């Protein structure tokens, strides 16, 4: 038999496969999420997320130095306060845990790009992402506090704020307030398509942010909807977002692809805690090759169209890329 076309010729060995590879993961694509708590010398592993820790500010700074030495360009900070109340006061306090952490990180590693999660669920006693009235998270009052939180992060030295609350109009409100107060260079990464996902469970342990009643389906998106995500992303872009995010990533690759094809803007994807925990558990049991599967997952996210990937595997990936 005579074949003119033999695609396998370009899969003959690792050299030619590398040469024609269409999608590559680079350490500069990665953002590493970090959890910061009050105290000293704290490095507490999160039970459902092996290899992920809560850090006090002193140990956080040492961790950030290591992260930066690996070539990872950015971190995403989440605060775990010691005191919570119904209005999430520490979220926007000048001496809040995240505000103090930002200053410490920027003092120690000035070139680290610091992104901050802007939300209230980890700071409220009820665990919801805003002000609750008669069992419902009210939108406009919450947006005022979300904007106030973003401003406090900018004042502390954050390079980018990332509102994750999914309230209507919060991007426009944040952009307006930041510009009015002289922080026009602080950028916004919007959690534009954040789904009411079951994959967030381990994160809620890490951030101590599980809702005390009900769920978040009145503000986070229905996992069944795709067109709605495009409307949310479009609104965030119109309101001034610099980067849009899809969260979670792995079960929403179609949303990432649609976002990238529909909008001329950088797209981030969050490889969330549940996705991380599933692979860690399977690898521990010997059922999956952790490195191979992690790289395959991240490659699929990048191939779908993500420019940036927020992932708890970032440190591992940075090491794997330099040792392969």
Residues belonging to the active site: 194, 247
What is the CA 119 to chain-centroid distance, rounded?
Answer: 12
First to last CA, the chain: 39
Report d(CA 287, CA 192) in Å as an integer.
34
Distance CA 288, CA 281 (A): 9
Distances from the Cα of 25 to the Cα of 10, 156, 231, 299, 300, angstroms: 20, 32, 29, 6, 10
Cα Rg of the chain (Å, integer):
20
Give the E-state strand segments of the chain in sequence order: 30-37, 43-46, 49-56, 74-80, 113-118, 132-133, 136-137, 160-163, 187-194, 243-247, 267-271, 308-311
Sole residue written with tokens 């940075």: 318
* Residue 250, phi-psi category: left (phi > 0), alpha (psi -120 to 50), beta (remainder): alpha
313 and 287 Cβ atoms separated by less than 8 Å: no
Phi/psi at 213 (5° precision): -150, 155
Strands 43-46, 49-56: pairing is antiparallel
From the list 190, 194, 193, the residue with the least C-alpha distance to 239 is 190
CA distance 201 to 190: 21
DSSP character string of 211-229: -SSS-STTTSBPTT-SHHH
- Dist CA 63 CA 55 (whole Å): 9
């Amino acid at each position: 038999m005579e074949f003119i076309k033999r695609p396998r010729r370009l899969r003959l060995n690792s050299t030619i496969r590398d040469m024609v590879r269409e999608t590559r993961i680079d350490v500069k694509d990665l953002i590493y999420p970090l959890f910061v708590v009050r105290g000293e010398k704290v490095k507490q592993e999160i039970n459902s997320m092996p290899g992920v820790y809560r850090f006090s500010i002193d140990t956080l700074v040492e961790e950030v130095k290591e992260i930066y030495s690996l070539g990872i360009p950015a971190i995403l900070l989440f605060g775990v306060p010691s005191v919570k109340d119904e209005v999430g006061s520490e979220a926007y306090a000048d001496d809040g845990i995240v505000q103090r952490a930002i200053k410490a990180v920027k003092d120690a590693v000035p070139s680290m790009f610091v992104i901050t999660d802007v939300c209230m669920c980890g700071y409220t006693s009820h665990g919801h992402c805003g002000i609750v009235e008669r069992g419902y998270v009210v939108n406009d009052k919450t947006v005022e506090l979300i904007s106030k939180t973003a401003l406090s992060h900018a004042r502390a030295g954050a390079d980018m704020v990332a509102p994750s609350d999914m309230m209507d109009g919060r991007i426009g409100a944040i952009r307006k307030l930041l510009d009015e107060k002289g922080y026009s260079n602080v950028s916004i990464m919007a959690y534009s398509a954040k789904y009411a996902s079951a994959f967030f469970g381990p994160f809620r342990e890490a951030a101590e942010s599980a809702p005390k009643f009900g769920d978040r389906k009145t503000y986070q998106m229905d996992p069944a909807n795709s067109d709605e995500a495009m409307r949310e992303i479009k609104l965030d872009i119109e309101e001034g977002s610099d980067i849009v995010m899809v969260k979670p990533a792995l079960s929403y690759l179609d949303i990432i692809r649609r976002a990238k094809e529909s909008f001329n803007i950088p797209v981030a994807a969050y490889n969330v805690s549940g996705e991380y925990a599933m692979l860690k558990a399977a690898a521990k049991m010997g059922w999956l090759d952790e490195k191979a599967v992690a790289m395959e997952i991240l490659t699929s996210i990048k191939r779908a169209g993500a420019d940036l990937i927020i992932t708890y595997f970032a440190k591992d990936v940075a090491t794997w890329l330099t040792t392969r």
